[in-house]
Amino acid sequence: MTKKKLIAGNWKMNGSLAANDALVRAIAKGLGDAACQVAVCVPAPYLAQVQMLRAGCALELGAQDVSQHAEGAYTGEVSAAMLREFGVRFAIVGHSERRQYHGESDALVADKAKAALACGITPIVCVGETLAEREAGRTEEVVKRQLAAVIHANGHCISEIVVAYEPVWAIGTGRTATPDQAQQVHAVLRAQLKAATPHADRVHILYGGSMNAANAASLLACADIDGGLVGGASLKAADFLQIIAAAR
């Protein structure tokens, strides 16, 4: 059976009680019988609100980060068990903004993925190269190194993760990898997963570099692109619904 595509919105540090209410209601109204899985990854303070708003529809709830620790003296951190209590299904780990601004290492990202899996939350593991790394011909080396850390730490559970390829040079810049560029990297990641688990085909590999309503269909048509991790376009209900409609 062919797995459904997954479209996950990443709101980043955006939102308000009023804006969230209008956005989620509009998405839920337009969702209908979507052919794909749909999730929104929202700032932690709004998890309870969106959990209530999504009741009765197929919209899944995601977090934008998770602590590698289960509990303890870690001021400001949010554990996977806490997220689970709010019905969180997905948690983004290793987003390039976390790696860049918060110094998150490959090993830390792997530990966060492990913590999420231990509580039944699916980590969306982000990998991707900078413009300098791409221009130096190091794209494959970088993404394989980032994913290898997660495979090493999670072993037999690796088929339970989601991978998101997010070329750093295409995040929030308006630049997008061409379908051929994206497919090439997705194929590399798929091969790496196949070497690690016999269940690699279960793993969704999402594209996440400025996917929008205009380019979603061409990207989603690629053989190894199983969905999208959508940034800015997920804050506009009409655009997000158009991407969802393209994910068949």
pLDDT digits (tens, 9 = 90+) for 137-196: 999 999 999 999 999 999 889 999 999 999 998 877 777 789 999 999 999 999 999 999
Q: 166 near 127, Cβ under 8 Å?
A: yes
Decide: pTM greater than 0.85. Answer: yes
Backbone angles phi, psi at 222, to 5 degrees: -70, 145
Question: For residue 20, what is the enclosing H or E element?
Answer: helix 17-31
Is the C-alpha dihedral spanning 216, 50, 69, 202 positive or negative? negative
| Catalytic residue chosen out of the listed positions 97, 166, 186, 204 | 166
Question: One of 95, 97, 186, 204 is an active-site residue; which one?
Answer: 95
Under a CB-based contact definition with an 8 Å cutoff, are residues 149 and 107 in contact?
Answer: yes
SS3 for 118?
Answer: helix
Residue 10 annotated as lining a ligand binding site: yes
Exposed/middle/buried for 119, CB within 10 Å: 0-12, 13-18, 19+? Answer: middle
Q: Is 32 marked as binding a ligand?
A: no
User: Is 166 an annotated catalytic residue?
Assistant: yes
What the chain holds in terms of domains, given with CATH numbers, is: 6-246 (3.20.20.70)
How far is it, in rounded angstroms, from Cα 95 to Cα 88?
Answer: 18
Please, which pLDDT band fits residue 1 given cuts at 50, 70 and 90? Answer: low
**Annotated catalytic residue 95:** yes
- Does 92 have pLDDT greater than 90? yes
Helices 237-246 and 17-31: crossing angle, nearest 10°? Answer: 30
Q: Is 172 annotated in some ligand binding site?
A: yes
